Structure 1
Amino acid sequence: MKTYLYLLIAVAFETFGSSCLQASNQFTRLWPTLGVVAGFAGAFWFFSLVLRDLPLGVTYALWSGIGMVLIAGSGWLLFGQKLDLAAILGIGLILAGIIVINLFSSAATH
């Protein structure tokens, strides 16, 4: 259970770092740029802790899938980026894939 908490923390850091990347205006704004560094450093640290217990392929699939969903939401909420029907359907498919991995895959255990 702690492993999945670390995974969620890694995703939260990655979402923060990616949102700061958008706000940094190509690294021309100091505080968002520092947020990028802190966000990705935290993300990779917690990602490495998850790899103690879960295989790389499954961990990366979960991390990137959850991250894509959260980044799409962040772009929509913070930056006014539009999500059309195709984007929403695609996000739903990503979520479905995450659910299938966690409920049915024996690869999700080390």
Structure 2
Amino acid sequence: MVLSGLTVRGKHGVFDFERRDGQDFVVDVALDIDTGTAAATDDIADTIHYGELAEALAVVIAGEPVNLLETLAARLADVCLADRRVHAATVTVHKPQAPIPLTFGDVAVTIRRLRPDTAR
């Protein structure tokens, strides 16, 4: 299951003006899940509801500021792994308005976290 391009305003960064003014963060998540049951039942209760996931991630992005994208990505991965059906989560946090005084295409951090009790 993939959710990409979730854009939420947050106040993360190491500079005072980033914390004061905020900026948009763009998040992509890829979840390793078993889709067999959902495919067989055709019931949303048997899979990850991507709307609910997006809302939960948005709360973290718009919530308590952190200095580093790595920290934000780890918190977002924790949200993904809170559902026991998620075996692993890959989270990319993009910071398109990063305070770099040069032209650039993207600044991003990607992490992958496995459920501790999963032997994958």
The structure that has the greater radius of gyration is: 2
- Normalization by structure 2: what TM-score? 0.30
**Structure holding more strand per residue:** 2
- Normalization by structure 1: what TM-score? 0.32
